[in-house]
Structure 1
């Protein structure tokens, strides 16, 4: 099971450390943050003790209304479960009692100026991506008109060259050679780079190019949701049919099924244009439109 250290969180969101600075090595193993509420009145049946704990204005204001004895009792009941850390939002003040308990129990107490809901949204996304199940595949990942595509095929088949043509047409590179796939949810597959190859595209006979330097920042993006798996293969005579609608095929990545299309290569064939057509056709299908159904309807009307 993947985890994120409190120190990772501090660096990622520039958090202020108020207490427990020696315990930043502690790990967060759950992907969603938790806001203690019922726990302050003694109900712990569903307390998410492995989650990051966020204290917003509502929680801190409530604690401020309590007597010192009540406050110590409420906080003491929570810290004894040793959650990974507490984060106080909106730069709230008057936290000496929290700092005292966190220091005693070795729990990092952090603070951010961000609004509670915004901070939770950002942290949830960060934790989900950081702890997601992932695999690395050989291929190229591109974003074509907002649609994430994984280009696969044998070495030398023309994946990077196709990506280069797409970039020149205004689309974006995500990763070349090594594509990291992350399972963000049971239905969502995210494609990204491994860090080392960020912005780089390797072209045979040319060498390595930096697409952001060569074509501008819009030529690259860090990640994209993968919705199409396109395999580039060598041309085989009589292997392609001109059917109105091909039977759907799928590729399986970590139990997520992605529509699969095979594009055969031949000199003079506009492969990049076919990738664009596949992306746009996928989008139309999501809107409920099928060209084949539309065509058959016209024939029936005749």
Structure 2
């Protein structure tokens, strides 16, 4: 899992540091955001201290209605050891009690002009992407007709060469050799390339090429949702391959089951065209058009008539 520190959020969202500069390297471990309304009222029994604490107009208006001693007590309890940071929205004035408590505990206090709900949504979306469960897969990820196709298989089977041909045909490369995959939703995984090899493609005998430099910015993209996995393997004459397309195989990536096709490789087969057709056929199936199933249904009807 990737690590996110408070300084990253300051740079990303243009937050103003008010107090607690020594704590900007604190880790943010969850994408959940807390608006401590009950805590302002004194209920700290279930205080989620590990979350980013977001103070808006509602919380601070109630806070200013409290007696001075209670205000100091609330802020001291709010600045827990595990609290990554406290953010004040709407450019509201930061209470002196909060500044003093944060100074003692070393908790960063930040300020922004953004509205509370809008900031909460931005932070949640960003942190969910950065803190999502992640794995790394040996393969090539390409965007073919809007379908994220992950090519897998043993070294030398032709994954990179197939990706190069697809790029020449107008499709886009996402990652070659190593694909970093993050689960961004319940049934959604997104792949990207490590920064070191972004936009690069390795072709045996040719070496490393920069796809964006050779083919232009339209030939690459930074990330893509993985929709289908195509496993390339050397043709085995003793193995029975699916000839109708009725069998639906899946592979588990992180916590998602992704459809997988096994494509046998041998001289004379145009893998780039096969990948293109597989992507288009996959889109058709999602729109309710399944050629293999229609053929099977017609065949069954024909057999019934003969009987």
**TM-score, with length taken from structure 1:** 0.86
* 2:251 match: 251
* 1:40 match: 40
Distance 1:63 1:204, change over 3 A: same
Distance 1:250 1:91, change over 3 A: same
Deviations 1:16-55 (A, max 9, x none): 2111001112222222222222222122343211111122
* 1:216 match: 216
Alpha-carbon distance in 2 for matches of 1:115, 1:162:
48
Number of residue pairs aligned between Structure 1 and Structure 2: 302
Shift in Å, 1:270: 2.5
Alignment of 1:269-288 (within 5 A): 269-288=269-288
Shift in Å, 1:14: 3.1
Alpha-carbon distance in 2 for matches of 1:13, 1:94:
18
Does 233-242 or 104-113 show the bigger shift?
A: 233-242
* 2:127 match: 127
* 1:99 match: 99
Alpha-carbon distance in 2 for matches of 1:25, 1:241:
54
Alpha-carbon distance in 2 for matches of 1:100, 1:180:
43
Alignment of 1:83-94 (within 5 A): 83-94=83-94
Distance 1:247 1:107, change over 3 A: same
Distance 1:128 1:204, change over 3 A: same
* 1:78 match: 78
* 2:149 match: 149
| RMSD value, Cα | 2.8
Distance 1:275 1:59, change over 3 A: farther
Whether 1:108 aligns to 2:108 is: yes
Distance 1:200 1:118, change over 3 A: farther
Distance 1:289 1:60, change over 3 A: farther
Retained in 1: the 8 A contact 2:160–2:203? yes
SS at match of 1:7: helix
* 2:233 match: 233
Alpha-carbon distance in 1 for matches of 2:152, 2:82:
46
| Structure 2: stretches of 5+ with no match in the other structure | none
SS at match of 1:11: helix
* 1:18 match: 18
Retained in 2: the 8 A contact 1:140–1:151? yes
Alpha-carbon distance in 2 for matches of 1:215, 1:2:
32
* 1:187 match: 187
Retained in 2: the 8 A contact 1:82–1:105? no
Deviations 1:183-231 (A, max 9, x none): 3455332211121001111123332222222222232222222221211
Deviations 1:107-140 (A, max 9, x none): 1011233343343333223323333332222111
Retained in 2: the 8 A contact 1:160–1:203? yes
* 2:169 match: 169
Shift in Å, 1:61: 4.2
Alpha-carbon distance in 2 for matches of 1:133, 1:281:
30
Alpha-carbon distance in 2 for matches of 1:21, 1:45:
28
SS at match of 1:50: coil
